[in-house]
Structure 1
């Protein structure tokens, strides 16, 4: 019975997407706004704010020291996140690195969901702008395990609708339209999601991180939301980032 329900729901999802088809379009007003924001992304202010916030902890030099790399090598190193950080003995995202750095410097770590944390993460990732994503999921046992877990999270159907990330991002449905939005290829041949988040979301009028976007998708699909920074959420970011390997980082991104 569960299998039948899952098949029916998946078929309904695909049908809904196909019916929308070529009908998808932003309004002329939204198109004009999008074009304007491409020239002046509002999240540039967030990135500048993040740089200032990081400066209270010593800026780029302190971040490089915390990560055990030279400041010259920092952009390339950041382009490999999420990664196993020996100092933390875990596969971590940039936000968790920032939290640990704050604690080491005697500051109370910002919550992962806070606006200031989003700003700092956006700035830190922007340090790697124009660098190709170079995540190495085979670098060590920890990264291999994170990739495997991320793939499982991406493909496992959950919730009453029996949906997974793969339900909207499998090769056979990419390009269809759901809820007025095209379902994108997340990898380097598509929108290179990992290379363009954190991004300014027009529909939210705010800066969001990739993990926060994952949570939005889960909410929309009526799935239990995986916590930011949890092993499962970081692993999902690892898996999706690997899809964008080779794509040039461009932060902040701009999303509808």
Structure 2
């Protein structure tokens, strides 16, 4: 794409951003629905299903044993994902870890995009509710590399519009409105988005993981969609989670 055309497209996108105002962020009907769902989040039922799926794998005790930690240490350990797992020889997200657990227990792993895996992994992450995100990107060379790659993915402009994740998540536009939604600050100093995913999306009537949300953003921005569980996608989750380090995990989240 010619430089001039790219500039026009970027200006068009940014001109669609309005300064944060409740009247633009959500309609009265959406706001009423949001307030109702805060009290009765449909995702609670999906996480209950995830709890049943974990019981089929042996429950929290089996999960703790698989991860090599005590049951008392399970919640803070889960608050440190994505993390490098020696037996996998790679940095993995919670759902990828669960795929490994299923495989090692003789079961066919759920695919990352399946509703079963979304429910299971969402419940497992919710075990860490009220814990602070404690990801450690300096734990080893693999985590350092994952963070560095995630930062590159976050900041690299690509696609037909010449946009990056940073285009909509930098200090100059945070709080502005795009597609009727305020653009969030991904850092712990803002609303610590990583601490509230997986979340129930009102517009999709479905529970979604953080990586699935990344894919939705990429699709809307006309970027080539990075596959779930890929090295690049997991690295992006590492970067995003590090930015929210110290935030308190509160799942399931509720998003428009």
Distance 2:203 2:22 in 1: 21
The worse-fitting range, judged by mean Cα deviation, of 29-38 and 237-246 is 29-38
Distance 1:172 1:52 in 2: 44
Q: Cα offset for 1:4?
A: 3.1
1:57 pairs with 2:49: no
Conserved? CA contact 1:186–1:244, under 8 Å: yes
SS of the counterpart of 1:254?
A: strand
Aligned residue number for residue 241 of structure 2: 241
Distance 2:206 2:11 in 1: 33
Aligned residue number for residue 169 of structure 1: 169
The worse-fitting range, judged by mean Cα deviation, of 15-24 and 220-229 is 15-24
Conserved? CA contact 1:95–1:117, under 8 Å: yes
RMSD, aligned α-carbons: 1.4
Q: Cα offset for 1:3?
A: 3.3
Q: Cα offset for 1:19?
A: 7.6
1:86 pairs with 2:86: yes
Q: Cα offset for 1:21?
A: 6.2
Structure 1 runs of 4+ aligned residues shifted over 6 Å read 19-22
How many residues align? The count is: 256
Aligned residue number for residue 41 of structure 1: 41
Distance 1:175 1:216 in 2: 19
SS of the counterpart of 1:162?
A: coil
Distance 2:52 2:36 in 1: 26
Distance 2:20 2:12 in 1: 12
Go from structure 1 to structure 2 and tell me whether the alpha carbon gap of 1:140 and 1:30 turns closer, same or farther (over 3 Å shift).
Answer: same
Q: Cα offset for 1:18?
A: 2.9
Go from structure 1 to structure 2 and tell me whether the alpha carbon gap of 1:57 and 1:19 turns closer, same or farther (over 3 Å shift).
Answer: closer
Q: Cα offset for 1:20?
A: 8.4
Cα-to-partner distance string for 1:82-124 (whole Å, 9 max, x where unaligned)? 0001111100000000000000111000000000100001110
SS of the counterpart of 1:24?
A: helix
Structure 2, unaligned runs of 5 or more: none
Cα-to-partner distance string for 1:117-139 (whole Å, 9 max, x where unaligned)? 00001110010000000001111
Conserved? CA contact 1:157–1:163, under 8 Å: yes
Structure 1, unaligned runs of 5 or more: none
SS of the counterpart of 1:229?
A: coil
